[in-house]
Structure 1
Amino acid sequence: MTDLAAFTAFSALHHASTPLLLPNAWDHASATALAEQDFPAIGTTSLAVAAAAGLPDGAGATRAETVLLARRLGSGPYLLSVDAEGGFSDDPAEVAELARELADAGAVGINLEDGRSDGTLAPVELHAAKIAAVKAEVPHLFVNARTDTYWLGGQEAAATTRRLDAYQQAGADGVFVPGLADSTVISALVKHIDAPLNILYSPSGPTVARLGALGVQRVSLGSLLYRAALGAALGLAAEIRAGRPVGGSGGAQVPTYAQVQNLSERPRRP
C-alpha cells in the first residue's frame, strides 16, 4: 500500500501557486524519463494502454492491462495517478476494488470518467456512487472525477456544473473537464466549484500559465505525448524510406540505446 505521505504530497501539488502539470506516460521508460525531467507526478493514458494491447480505448476492455501498468510504475521515483476510464464496471463495489488494487500497486490518484464508448454520459447518480465507493474503500486516494460534457459535446455549461456538484458531494478530490478551453467558462467554473479544476492541455488552447491565472490547479497532457511519439516514429521511418538524411539537431534528440537501457536501472521509490 502506498505510504500516507505520498498521498498527502500528491494532494498538496493541487494547491500550489502554479498548476500541477501532469504528463501522461505509457510505459516504464517514458515514466522514468519524464521523472528525470523533474516532473514530480506522472499520469497514465488509457489510449496508450489500449493501443499497446490492440484494444479499444474507453470501452472498459483494459482493466487487467491498466492494473499491470500500475504495478510496473507504482514504485517509481514519482507520484502516480492512473487513468481508469469509468472504473471498468458499473458496479461501485467493483470500482472500489479496482481502486484498492491500484493503491496497493503504488498509485496515489485515480481518474474516473463518466463518458461512455457509445457517446453517452453515465447517469450522474451512478458515477457519484462509484466515487463514494472508492473514497470509502481507499480514503486517501485522490479521486479526479472527470465529466465528458464538453468532450462529447451537446451537454455543456449547466450539465457540467450539475455533474461536478454531485461528484464533489460524493467525495471527489478534484474535477476534470476535458475539451473545455474557453477562458470565460473556465474562470466561472473555478469560482463555482470547491475542488481543484483539471483541464486537458490543448496546443490550440490557453497556455499553462494562462490556465493558472484563471485558477486552474491541474493541467493534464492526456494522450498527447504518446501520439506525438508515435507521430515522430512514423515521420522518421518515412524519411529513412525516402532516402532523406536524418540526424542533425532532430536526430540528436533521439535517446541512445544505452540511455534507454539505463532508464530501467533508475532507483525506485522506497
Structure 2
Amino acid sequence: MTDATDTTAAFHKLHVPGDPFILPCAWDVAGGQLFAEAGHRAVGTTSLGVAAAIGAADEDRETLTATANLAAALRKVLPEQPLTCDFEDGYGNVPESVVEAVREAFAGDSAGGLIVDGINIQDSRQGLMSEPAVLAAKAEAIKEAFPGLFVNARIDTFWVGEHNLGEVLERVDAYTDAGADGIFVPGDLDLKTIETITGRSRAPVNVLVSPRYSRSTLAEAGVGRISTGSLPYRAAMSEALRALRILDDDRPAETANVLSYGAFTELGRVSVRPHPGGR
C-alpha cells in the first residue's frame, strides 16, 4: 500500500485555482471504485448518500460510524487514490471532541497517520449557522493535531438561504486564518459571486457542480475544485425509479446502457489504481 503521505501530498497538489479537478462523491465502495476506474484522480464521500444508506437524516451527527467504515473500505480497495470525506460539522461542538472524532473515524497506523487525505467540515447544522469562530477553532485544532490533513472549510451561508456575500467573505478570512487548506462555498452561485470569493480567498476555492456552468467556465472564475456533492447519488436513485416506472408501465426492462452484473462482481475482487493523468 502506498504511504498515506504520498496520497495526501498528491491530494494537496490537485487543488490549483484556475485548473479545478472534479471530485466525485461516493456513498458506497463500488461507486468509489467506478469513479476511480473512470479516471478521476481523487474520490470523496457524500454525507447525504451515507446518511440515506443507513436511514438517517443528513447533518444529524448519526453517520460517524458509517463514514468511518466507508472510508476504511475505500482505502482498502483504492490504496493509491487520494481520499477525502464529508465530515458534517465535525460531530461535535468543541474542537477537542472534533479532533477525537477525526482520530476515531480515520485512525491509520500506530504512528498516528490517518487513512484519509482530507475532510470537509461545515459551519452549519440542520440549517442553522454557527458563529465563524466555532469552525475556525475546529479547523485550527484539526490542523494542529493532523498537519498534513487537507481541511476543506465549508461556508453554508448561501446554502441555508442567507444571501450575504459580506458574511461569506468574513468567514473566508476567518477559516483561512485558522489554517484551512481549502474553502468550500456550496449553492447555486453566479459567476460574479464566485469570482469575488476566489479573488478574496488565500486558499483554493471549492464549489458544487453547476447546472449553469461548465468546468472550463468555473476554471476561468478561479475555482480550484468542483465537487459533485450528492448529485451522483440522487441521479442513481432517480434512474432506479425511472427503471421501475418502465416496468410498472408493462414495458420490457431497459438494460442497454446499464453496467452488467459481472462488472460489479469484478469490483469486489480487485484494488483499483488511479489512471495516469486522470481528469
The answer to whether the superposition gives a TM-score over 0.5 is yes
8 A Cα contact 1:2 1:108, kept in partner: no
Q: Deviations over 1:190-218 (max 9, x none)?
A: 11111000001122x21111001111010
- The higher-RCO structure (CA 8 Å, 6+ apart) is 2
TM-score, normalised on structure 1? 0.93
Q: Deviations over 1:133-191 (max 9, x none)?
A: 11011100000000101101225201000011100011100000000421011111111
Q: Aligned partners of 2:204 and 2:269: how far apart in 1? A: 35
SS for the counterpart of 1:107 is coil
Residue of 169, 174, 178 corresponding to 1:166: 174
Match of 1:88 in 2: 91
Q: Say yes or no: does 1:253 pair with 2:262.
A: no
Residue of 236, 245, 266 corresponding to 1:229: 236
Map 1:122-161; keep pairs closer than 5 Å: 122-161=130-169
Runs ≥4 residues deviating over 6 A: none
Q: CA RMSD in A?
A: 1.6
Over the matched positions of the two proteins, sequence identity in percent amounts to 39
Q: Aligned partners of 1:163 and 1:16: how far apart in 2? A: 19
8 A Cα contact 1:180 1:199, kept in partner: no
Residue of 194, 201, 206 corresponding to 1:186: 194
Map 1:23-172; keep pairs closer than 5 Å: 23-75=24-76, 76=78, 77-100=80-103, 101-102=105-106, 104=108, 106-117=115-126, 119-172=127-180
Q: Aligned partners of 1:92 and 1:116: how far apart in 2? A: 16
8 A Cα contact 1:2 1:106, kept in partner: no
Q: How many Å apart are 1:228 and its aligned residue?
A: 0.4
Q: Deviations over 1:26-45 (max 9, x none)?
A: 11100001100000101100
The one-letter amino acid of 1:11's match is H
TM-score, normalised on structure 2? 0.90
**What are structure 2's unaligned runs of at least 5 residues?**
109-113, 274-279
Q: How many Å apart are 1:268 and its aligned residue?
A: 5.4
Give 1 or 2: higher helix fraction: 1
Q: Aligned partners of 2:224 and 2:131: how far apart in 1? A: 27
Q: How many Å apart are 1:124 and its aligned residue?
A: 1.0
**What are structure 1's unaligned runs of at least 5 residues?**
none
Q: How many Å apart are 1:103 and its aligned residue?
A: 5.6
8 A Cα contact 1:99 1:138, kept in partner: no
